[in-house]
Each structure stands twice: as structure tokens, then as C-alpha cells.
Amino acid sequence: MYERILIALDGSEHSRRALEDAKELATLAKSQVRVLHVREEYFIGRAGLVPTEAHQAATKLVDDAVAALSEVGIAATGTVRASLAGRVAAEILEEAESWGASLIVMGSRGFTDLAGLLLGSTAHKVLHLGKNPVLIVR
């Protein structure tokens, strides 16, 4: 049923819980898992693109998740994408489509609670704009 699970992580407590739920589901369904982290960048005039976090921190987040999944026998890979701020949902949906995900798993709230209230949360956008089933973990 869920042969390929894409899990979108941002390092928040909600995404850590989502990883645990995805691990259980992948074990039961014998799924492959793709771990995705989208590293946001802001465009600031002459300064150009300014990332919100270091590439090494983003890579460590993904590598740690892949290792945790692999430890329990789940075939897992991971990737980090860089994107302009506000396009995280679009990046998640593009990754799901290009990888052929049958399910997207993500936390209900990330680190951008205030932005989510003002602009609409990433989880809300993925849920309503995507074609895939989405598991939102609180």
C-alpha cells in the first residue's frame, strides 16, 4: 500500500514524532523511505541568498534520520533541498512526485508557527495542494 514513504523533517519536536510514526509504518508496510529536509533561503537585496541554517546542520539532520531508519532495517535515503522561503511545501510536493512517493509524512507544526498563522502552514499547503495521501503527526 505505502511502498515509498517521503518524510519531511525540519528538526522540530513535531517532525521528530513524525519520524517515529513513519518508522513504525515503514516497518509494518516494508516500505522504502526518503528523508527530506528543505533548507530555506531568504533573498536580501545585494547580500543575495541568505540561508536560515548551515548546510552541515541540514545534512546532519537528514543523515541522523536515515541512520535511525536503517538501524531497524528500513531501506532509507535522504536529501537536502535549498529553496526560497515560502516554497517549502512546493519543494516537498516536487520531491514526492519525482521520487514516486505513495505517502508523505510530516509534523503538524514546525519552527515557523507565527509564519504558519500568517501565511498558512507548510503542512496545510502540502495537504491541500498535493496529490498524495499525507499523514500529519501532532
Region 4-137: CATH code: 3.40.50.620
Q: What is the pTM of this model?
A: 0.90
Domain range annotation of the chain: 4-137
114 band by pLDDT with thresholds 50, 70 and 90:
low
| Tens-digit pLDDT profile for residues 18-30 | 999 999 999 999 9
Provide the 10 A C-beta neighbour count for residue 60: 14
Query: Mean of the pLDDT values across residues 91-95?
Result: 98
Pinpoint the alpha helices (H) of the chain.
Answer: 13-29, 55-71, 88-99, 113-119, 122-129
120 band by pLDDT with thresholds 50, 70 and 90:
low
